[in-house]
Each structure stands twice: as C-alpha cells, then as structure tokens.
Amino acid sequence: MDVWTEALQDSGMDHRLDRDTSNCSIARTLEVVGEKWTILILREVWYGSSRFGDFERVLGCPRNLLAGRLRMLVEEGILATETYKEPGARSRPKYVITPMGMDLVPAVMGLLHWGDRYRADPEGPAVLTRHRGCGAQVNVHVRCEQGHSVREEDIESVPGPAFRMKAAE
C-alpha cells in the first residue's frame, strides 16, 4: 500500500489517480509563468534588463505581446514598476523583480542547467551563472530540512494538508 492509498481509505477510488488536481501548485505556477515569453522576460530581468525597449530589442517579440506579459507579471506581483526619466524624455516605467519574483530563480535555474547539460552547443553554455564574490559556478540542489543532500530518486511525494479527492460525478 503506497503513501497515496494510505492517505484515504476504501472509497473505491484510486487515491493518486482520482485526486482533485485543481489545486496542484505546479499547475498554478504554470498559470502564471508557464508560457515561453513570460519565462524569457524573467530571464532578461535576471540578466539585467528593466526597460520596455530593452526587452523588445533582445527578445524581438511583438510589442503588444510584450506589454501584456509585463502587465500580467506586475499584476501577479512578480515584477514591480519604478519610474525613470532620461533628459529631455518623458517619464517611463521600468520593471524590477520583487522578492516573489526572485523566488522563481531556482525553477528557472533548473531549466537553464538542464538545457546546459543536455541541449547546449558543442562549445558549452551561452551563459554561466556564478556566485558574485567567490566566482564559483552556481547550481540548484535538492536538500531536505535535515540537511541531507537528496538524490532525485529518494524524493517521496505524499498527500499534503489541501489534498482532496475529485467530487463523485
């Protein structure tokens, strides 16, 4: 009897397969950032861009798409706007990452390093991530709260406090 079956007893349902997936945190995160341009905008913010024109220049995506994604990221609390003004020009917004946005870094870095490992050009990665100050390469690691380094195959997924089954039809 696996951990999913232990969680609820004897309903005739298969607890893993008939669970209500509508509150899955992966799916909810993908609702916010699960679109290519959104992740690429965050990549550029992370690489140092903040102005509309910068995103447009590097990404080459349509202006209305870019404007929509930036607005959504601000509404979701991942980016915030500040005002800047260049001499002789009108004030414009610039986009800065919030602490909530910073917390997406492990996920985005996981995507980056997977690509570096399995889909890079023969020369290697186009961009390296390093620890400012010490200069060593930065990576994402899976660890448990007891401080153990955890191999992927030693991760167990179990029902949490908001686990529930699909409503009977």
6 binds its own copies, rule: CB under 8 A:
no
| Cβ 158 to its own copies shortest distance, Å | 5
Instruction: Give bridge partners of residue 82 from the DSSP assignment.
Output: 94
Q: Under the criterion CB under 8 A, does residue 72 sit at the interface with its own copies? A: no
The answer to whether residue 12 forms part of the interface with its own copies (CB under 8 A) is no
Assess 95 for contact with its own copies (CB under 8 A): no
Rg (CA), the chain: 21
Q: Which residues on neighbouring strands pair with residue 81, listed in sequence order?
A: 95
Cα→Cα distances 29→17, 32, 39, 90, 107, Å: 21, 5, 12, 35, 10
Q: Which stretch binds its own copies (CB under 8 A): 67-75, 80-88, 121-129?
A: 121-129
| Binding of its own copies by 136 (CB under 8 A) | yes
Of 71 and 130, nearer to its own copies (C-beta) is 130
- How many whole angstroms separate alpha carbon 143 and alpha carbon 117? 20
